[in-house]
Chain A
Amino acid sequence: MKLKRLILIATAPLIVTTYSCKTNPNQTGSTKPAIDMVAEGNPEVAEVTGAPKVPAPVGNRGPKKLIVNLVTTEMEGIIADSIPYTFWTFNHTVPGSFIRIRVGDEVTLNLKNEASSVLPHNIDLHAVTGPGGGAAATSSAPGKTTSFTFKALNPGLYVYHCAAPPVPMHIGNGMYGLILVEPEGGLPKVDKEFYIMQGDFYTKASAIKKGLLEFDNDKAVAENPDYVLFNGKKGSLLGANMIEAKVGETVRLYVGNGGPNLTSSFHVIGEIFDNVYLEGGSTISHNIQTTMIPAGGAAIVEFKCDYPGEYVLVDHSLSRAFNKGAIGKLKVTGKADAKVFNAKTIGSH
Chain B
Amino acid sequence: MKINIFLIITVFTLLLYACNNQQKIDSKEINIANSTTPNNSIPLTVKMVYIPGGEYKPFYGSDSTLVKVPAFLLDERAVTNQEFLAFIKLNPAWRKSVIKRIYADTSYLNNWVNDTTLPKDAKLDAPITNISWFAAKAFAKSIGKRLPTLDEWEYVAMADKTTANARSKPTYSNEILDLYLQKNRQYNAVKQSAPNYWGVYNMFDLIWEWTDDFNSVLTTGDSRSGQYDDKNLFCAASATSATDIMNYAAFMRFALRGSVKANFAIANLGFRCAKDTLILNK
Contacts and interface: CB of A to CB of B under 8 A. Distances in A.
A214 B259 contact: no
Interface of A is mostly: loop
A26 interface: no
A163 B224 contact: yes
A135 B222 contact: yes
Contact of B222 (A115, A136, A215, A221): A136
Interface stretch (B21-29, B141-149, B156-164, B179-187): B179-187
B237 interface: yes
A116 B220 contact: no
B258 to A, nearest CB: 6
A140 to B, nearest CB: 6
B178 A214 contact: yes
A139 B252 contact: no
Residue among A142, A166, A209, A217 with the highest chain B CB neighbour number at 10 A: A166
A71 to B, nearest CB: 15
Interface stretch (B12-20, B91-99, B264-272, B274-282): B264-272
B246 interface: yes
A173 to B, nearest CB: 9
Interface string A106-128: 00000000011111101010000
B251 A142 contact: no
A334 B175 CA distance: 55
A208 interface: yes
Nearest to A164: B255
A73 to B, nearest CB: 10
A155 B267 CA distance: 40
Q: Interface residue tally of chain B, by bracket?
A: 35 or more
Nearest to A163: B222
A165 interface: yes
B225 interface: yes
B10 interface: no
A136 B224 CA distance: 11
B266 A141 contact: yes
Q: Interface residue tally of chain A, by bracket?
A: 35 or more
A340 interface: no
A167 interface: yes
B248 interface: yes
B259 A118 contact: no
A209 B219 CA distance: 32
B268 A142 contact: yes
Residue among A143, A206, A207, A214 with the highest chain B CB neighbour number at 10 A: A143
Top 7 closest A-B pairs, CB basis?
Answer: A139-B221, A165-B223, A120-B259, A135-B222, A136-B220, A165-B251, A141-B259
20 contacts: A115-B107, A118-B183, A119-B180, A119-B252, A119-B256, A120-B256, A122-B221, A132-B222, A135-B220, A136-B222, A139-B258, A139-B259, A141-B256, A144-B259, A164-B259, A165-B237, A165-B251, A166-B223, A218-B174, A221-B246
